[in-house]
Structure 1
Amino acid sequence: MGPLSRTLPALDPAAVAAAPDARAWPFEEARKVVARVEKTGQQSVVFETGYGPSGLPHIGTFGEVMRTTMVRTAFRLLTEDRYPTSLISFSDDMDGLRKVPTNVPMQEELAKAIGLPVSRVPNPFGSAHASFAAHNNARLRAFLDDFGFDYDFASSSDYYSSGRFDAALLRMLEVYDDVMEIILPTLGEERRATYSPFLPICPRTGKVLQVPLIERDIASGRIAYLDPETGERIETTVTGGNVKCQWKADWALRWYALGVDYEMAGKDLIDSVKLSSRIVKALGGNPPEGFNYELFLDKEGAKISKSKGNGISIEEWLTYANPESLSLFMFQKPRAAKRLHFDVIPKAVDEYYAFAAAAQDQDAAALLENPAFHIHSARPAAYDLPISFALLLNLVSAANAEDASVLWGFIERYVPGATPQTHPELARLVGFAIRYFADFVKPTKVFRAPEPMEADALRALDEALAPHSGSTDAEALQTIVYEVGKSFAFPNLRDWFKALYQVLLGQDQGPRFGSFIALYGVDETRALIAQGLSGALAAPR
């Protein structure tokens, strides 16, 4: 299992006792499910997440599984694990391919497959998987497995063709008029003329057809329609994989057939949730509980899309940061729109370790409000991290070191005896910091020459640091920096620190400067000041 194993651990009795008063959002959501089971008297609970494999799985897909798992854990705590629970990760791989994602190969070949179920679209990636959907499904499952999620994978194509949905499809045929009455008022005139909740699979082309029905026979479970190209009358059953449902009806069919009790969805699907819930009721079922989370945005503030590939992929995040930081990003403020770009990574990394450290000595009540508990479904492991990720990034920058062994030379002076073997978590962060700096910090660094008063202050700082050669006392060094800044007429002391970052590090923000000096070294910092004063750092390179 990966570092975030979700194998339904035994519940801590203290956490169970504290759960009724917990206010973290997973508990607020879980209380909806508790009220549901108390009302219905059911004996088990089904959580579900959905995925459309018409594009590569992205972080939003992972986030839905992550967040639902957090709600599932909270439900188990609130009910003292009295109800068996399951989490279904459902892939709608029978959906027809409507457009070719721009971020995949074989564009022309895939364009010829428009209209085919995604599970029958050729695989453009050269892997051993039989179809585009099979490749994407495998990637999603690999990510979920690496994170150790406890889930059951389900494929739309498998469920339709195996007969798993047959009873629900026959019920959909029975309430066909009710479904039409729900959906038709939401459609434009042209779409109303062709709408049916059933999408036949054309026996001639294999494509998913959007055609009106001309006949229905509830007793036999058969429907008839006209081939849109030949005009031929085609008759088929709604069972056995011969049709799939339009997606709002399909969502409702899934909830009804699988008895789904909880599923969250993006804010852009609020109206769809309402319509699918009405269809479930028409079928005779009970819509699931859930909430609508806000969407992730790219660096330009646009919604991320799996077809455009304009967000961060799961692999990309894990190239530059630990998986726990990604989980923290998913936990925080799910109802607020958040930019999902590379610049959010350092903050998420350091915040995770801060929460993990706080969790070590919290009582159960406080622990249940700590994001680290929800990330791990328990108290997280303790880490020995004497240096923050942000500080490591600045060390890489100042030392111009893209070799881990060079960085460890600085680290060992700051933390005597520290090695990759004694501090494995720090070693992991060193690797992340080197990669992140090379790809995102180094290309954007812009040094400037100091203004006259800033230059005087830098000379004063150099002089004040001179007697402290070899010091690693971050607090004492921070005091020196602070006192030097106060002795000059900066409008705001923040302007002094901003000048330090811009002149010496080539960026607008930076670490606590005393901590940076302690790690980088007093003598090295003085040499850096000399370069900044001479203009060498700001000179064209």
Structure 2
Amino acid sequence: MLQGLSSTARDARSWPFEQARLLLDRVARLRLLDSERDLASALFMQGKFHEAVATLPALARPVIFQCGYGASGLPHLGTFGEATRPTIVRNAFRALTEDAIPTRLIVFSDDMDGLRKIPDNVPNRAMLEEDRDKPVTSVRDPFGEYESFGAHNNARLRAFLDGFGFDYTFMSSTETYRSGRLDEVLLRILARFDAVQAIMLPTLGEERRATYSPFLPISPKTGRVLQAPTLERNVEAGTIVFADEDGTLTEVPVTGGHVKLQWRPDWAARWTALEVDFEASGKDLVDSVRVSNRIVKALGGEPPEAFHFELFMDEQNQKISKSKGNGLTMEEWLRYGTPESLTYYMFQSPKSAKRLYFDVIPKATDEYLQQLDALNRKKAEGDNAVQVDNPAWHVHRGAPPSQGSPVSFSLLLNLVSAADASTKDLLWAFIARYLPGATPASEPLLDQLAGYAIHYYEDFVKPAKRFRAPTDVERAAMQALVAKLKALPPGADAEAIQNEVFAVGKDAGFEPLRLWFTALYEVLLGQSQGPRFGSFAAIFGVDRTIALIERALAGELVS
């Protein structure tokens, strides 16, 4: 699938390919000797990536992409974004390098974190209260399905990711600490404790500085993750001493899962131990990334390439917060739009803040469909170069479908509105007349969109519809439009109808002309915006459109 794309990918300008080229530079800089880099560069420029890997074995080690998951809560829209953006960059890297350099996406569950806050959306909260501050994988499952709350959330995460077809390696923080995978780095932090403290303490408030330690010991008596200062360190033995909850001085190893690192040192330890090459995070974590980068360097490692994306805002332009519950949930988006439209929205302008609310779904859906159509149109015209800068290419991870939807989402919405179609069967009665021979089986995407349009109309459009009576100028123009439509030959297409609508608006003196279309939407559909009117009339039917206009002129829609 990705073979032969490197020359096109090298010239690509979209942000994933910019990140992919930075990653390729990083791989050469960190893995190759100075004497090897010139050879690698020459082979890269010729697109001979398989030859480069065969000649320079250091390139054969996988490039590691990583994203994190807070296992104290259920997967959500942010989780989707966390996995989507590194996947998009990973796919661009694979295209750039002809898949010669292996890659791997690690989804890391922070399930050893202490449960500090009880989620609102789970049962048996009193039971969780009893387990507060224990690692999430030691907290009892409030749903009664798994051995722990962490195991329950991890299972939900994996089912969530699998459902969207992500290619990933799952890692549990608890298992990683207990298996010894982090032991070497943990001992290094113990040995360089003062250097880590010198980085961390200036970032903290005065009260927290007095007791801060990068190590959070897990009490052998209560099993809770403690915010306890480190009182003594024994580098040779690999242990720390702290005061347990009952005040008893207790010595534990820093290895083997007996301690958990504070989150910024934990981030740094993970990057170092797993040799992470790429991690994306929100703009609100820029300072935390800088701090973690400094800790990585203090540990003798190399920080990953960081990609910072802007945050989503709600309808009031307030930052979306899980604790506030504002914004839009994954389930809500998928009630009204396709997963591809959501991926497209995540892909577009990641460096710009965007509203994440219900009203963005129709526009995102139609923009995605337009991009898919543009990509396939280029192919149909004989342009065999894969359109790697087209968002649809990235949305579909390099394998976009050859068929989109012949009807836009906004047009379906207006068809539902005008026809008062409450089921897909009613909607398909119009669609089949507009597209002879089309069926839900032959147009599966269109069939999905029909269902989404009905949901969106019932929940958002219908309650907000406000019909108005036409002005005298608008009334005269609509009467003229009726005459024009009646004079059309049978089977007139959308373009012919649109031309007549334009002509009537110009003759009536609407300036700018969009005021004419706004009047049509407000008077006929009870809303201020809509699709191309010619397309709407073609799919709704010219006779039905004429009847709709005559009902509006008679005042029936307003009443």
**TM-score, scaled to structure 1:** 0.93
2:165 maps to which of 138, 148, 161: 148
Change in Cα spacing, 1:132 to 1:439, as seen in structure 2 (3 Å) is farther
Question: In 2, Cα distance between the equivalents of 1:224 and 1:452?
Answer: 86
1:77: Cα distance to partner? 2.6
For 2:350, the equivalent position in structure 1 comes to 334
Moved more, 258-267 or 434-443: 434-443
Contact 2:373 2:404 in 1 (8 A): no
- Does residue 80 (structure 1) correspond to residue 80 (structure 2)? The answer is no
1:456-494 CA-to-partner distances (Å, cap 9, x unmatched) read 222222222122375441111111111111122334211
Contact 2:369 2:404 in 1 (8 A): no
Moved more, 389-398 or 111-120: 111-120
For 1:31, the equivalent position in structure 2 comes to 21
Give matches, 1:239-318, under 5 Å: 239-318=255-334
Contact 1:46 1:87 in 2 (8 A): yes
For 1:446, the equivalent position in structure 2 comes to 466
Question: In 2, Cα distance between the equivalents of 1:113 and 1:63?
Answer: 30
Question: In 1, Cα distance between the equivalents of 2:469 and 2:119?
Answer: 46
SS of the residue 1:291 aligns to: strand
Contact 1:58 1:306 in 2 (8 A): no
What residue identity is the alignment partner of 2:535? Answer: S
1:354 maps to which of 346, 349, 370: 370
Contact 1:182 1:275 in 2 (8 A): yes
Question: In 2, Cα distance between the equivalents of 1:531 and 1:387?
Answer: 26
Question: In 2, Cα distance between the equivalents of 1:163 and 1:535?
Answer: 77
Question: In 1, Cα distance between the equivalents of 2:313 and 2:124?
Answer: 27
Question: In 1, Cα distance between the equivalents of 2:358 and 2:65?
Answer: 31
Question: In 2, Cα distance between the equivalents of 1:122 and 1:500?
Answer: 59
Question: In 2, Cα distance between the equivalents of 1:200 and 1:141?
Answer: 29
Contact 2:75 2:160 in 1 (8 A): no
What residue identity is the alignment partner of 1:32? Answer: L
For 2:9, the equivalent position in structure 1 comes to 19
Q: Structure 1: any 5+ residue segments left out of the alignment?
A: 1-9
- Does residue 66 (structure 1) correspond to residue 97 (structure 2)? The answer is no
SS of the residue 1:355 aligns to: helix
What residue identity is the alignment partner of 1:55? Answer: G
Question: In 2, Cα distance between the equivalents of 1:301 and 1:135?
Answer: 34
Contact 2:112 2:260 in 1 (8 A): yes
1:201 maps to which of 214, 218, 221: 218
- Does residue 524 (structure 1) correspond to residue 552 (structure 2)? The answer is no
Moved more, 321-330 or 169-178: 321-330
1:376-427 CA-to-partner distances (Å, cap 9, x unmatched) read 2324111153211110111011100111111111111111222222322221
For 2:39, the equivalent position in structure 1 comes to none
Contact 1:56 1:306 in 2 (8 A): no
Give matches, 1:416-455, under 5 Å: 416-455=436-475
Contact 1:103 1:309 in 2 (8 A): no
For 1:174, the equivalent position in structure 2 comes to 191
Change in Cα spacing, 1:85 to 1:23, as seen in structure 2 (3 Å) is same
Contact 1:102 1:308 in 2 (8 A): no
What residue identity is the alignment partner of 2:214? Answer: P
SS of the residue 2:119 aligns to: coil
Question: In 1, Cα distance between the equivalents of 2:302 and 2:384?
Answer: 35
Question: In 2, Cα distance between the equivalents of 1:376 and 1:386?
Answer: 19
1:344-380 CA-to-partner distances (Å, cap 9, x unmatched) read 1112222222222222234465611111111223241
2:180 maps to which of 163, 172, 175: 163
What residue identity is the alignment partner of 2:232? Answer: E
SS of the residue 2:106 aligns to: strand
Change in Cα spacing, 1:79 to 1:417, as seen in structure 2 (3 Å) is closer
Change in Cα spacing, 1:169 to 1:412, as seen in structure 2 (3 Å) is same
Give matches, 1:500-515, under 5 Å: 500-515=520-535
What residue identity is the alignment partner of 1:113? Answer: D
1:183 maps to which of 182, 200, 207: 200
2:110 maps to which of 89, 92, 98: 92
Question: In 2, Cα distance between the equivalents of 1:242 and 1:219?
Answer: 17
Give matches, 1:440-519, under 5 Å: 440-468=460-488, 470-519=490-539
SS of the residue 1:235 aligns to: strand
Moved more, 201-210 or 375-384: 375-384
Change in Cα spacing, 1:104 to 1:527, as seen in structure 2 (3 Å) is farther
Change in Cα spacing, 1:309 to 1:39, as seen in structure 2 (3 Å) is same
Contact 1:474 1:517 in 2 (8 A): yes
SS of the residue 2:133 aligns to: coil
Change in Cα spacing, 1:472 to 1:396, as seen in structure 2 (3 Å) is farther
1:36: Cα distance to partner? 1.1
Question: In 1, Cα distance between the equivalents of 2:218 and 2:288?
Answer: 24
Change in Cα spacing, 1:241 to 1:513, as seen in structure 2 (3 Å) is same
SS of the residue 1:223 aligns to: strand
What residue identity is the alignment partner of 1:134? Answer: A
Contact 1:350 1:388 in 2 (8 A): yes
What residue identity is the alignment partner of 1:380? Answer: P
- Does residue 396 (structure 1) correspond to residue 416 (structure 2)? The answer is yes
Contact 1:472 1:521 in 2 (8 A): no
For 2:45, the equivalent position in structure 1 comes to none
Question: In 1, Cα distance between the equivalents of 2:20 and 2:408?
Answer: 34
For 1:319, the equivalent position in structure 2 comes to 335
Contact 1:51 1:91 in 2 (8 A): yes
Question: In 1, Cα distance between the equivalents of 2:451 and 2:531?
Answer: 19
SS of the residue 1:426 aligns to: helix
SS of the residue 1:290 aligns to: strand
Change in Cα spacing, 1:387 to 1:513, as seen in structure 2 (3 Å) is same
SS of the residue 1:413 aligns to: helix
What residue identity is the alignment partner of 1:39? Answer: R
Change in Cα spacing, 1:403 to 1:182, as seen in structure 2 (3 Å) is same
Contact 2:91 2:398 in 1 (8 A): no
**TM-score, scaled to structure 2:** 0.90
Change in Cα spacing, 1:405 to 1:80, as seen in structure 2 (3 Å) is closer
1:515: Cα distance to partner? 0.5
- Does residue 115 (structure 1) correspond to residue 115 (structure 2)? The answer is no
CA RMSD of the aligned region, Å?
Answer: 1.8
Question: In 1, Cα distance between the equivalents of 2:135 and 2:552?
Answer: 61
Contact 2:434 2:538 in 1 (8 A): yes
Contact 1:256 1:285 in 2 (8 A): yes
Aligned length: 527
